Structure 1
Amino acid sequence: MELEEMGSFFNKRVDGYERHMLNNVAGSDKYYIETDYMTPNQEYEDQCFAENKKIRSKLGITEGFYHYDTPCTVENEIKMLLKAGFESIKNIGKYGNTGILLAKK
């Protein structure tokens, strides 16, 4: 993924974290647990984003909701959580292809 596209993606994804996760985390310590499919490397993440872009282009989708799972690396998930305002993120580990991150506000 090109740097400009990555920045745009991060901003959109971070907005989602802020609306759906950061503002709705439970408890006074504000913990959030991210459990999601995470890619094994940047190359695979880039392939997923390229495929999403290709499908959207082919179907003429320029805006609006169209779900295509675009998983990220653990490192990129951590960057997005930090950018969304979480102060610390602990990589708990993984179960198969599912990564588990504990974020604290």
Structure 2
Amino acid sequence: MLVIEHIPAAIADEILVGKERDTVVMTAEERRWGRRRLRSSAGRAVALALATGTTLAPGAIIAVEPTWYLQVEAAAEPVLAVRPRRCGWFRSGRCRARSSCASWRH
């Protein structure tokens, strides 16, 4: 099992050339958990032992080994989109001057 205790600093693209890309797919909530066990897409066992408060960004490379590297991939999740019922500029009378408000119902 590969134990990851820190995220490598900026990695040059030349270092990754010729290495196999492996991924761990994680939701937004899972990327906030710094201590857990995972299984990569290729079936490799991985244990995260990161510092408290570490958040993994999608696309982050978290391990580089001699023949492969491990990259974080964002899982597909449902998203809730929230829009205002009316444009915020409507009350001040400046709404008509803003083209972004043209599609809003008043």
TM-score (norm 1): 0.24
Q: Larger relative CO (CA 8 A, sep 6+): 1 or 2? A: 1
Question: Larger helix proportion, structure 1 or 2?
Answer: 1
TM-score (norm 2): 0.24
Question: Larger strand proportion, structure 1 or 2?
Answer: 2
Q: Decide which structure has the larger Cα Rg and report it.
A: 2
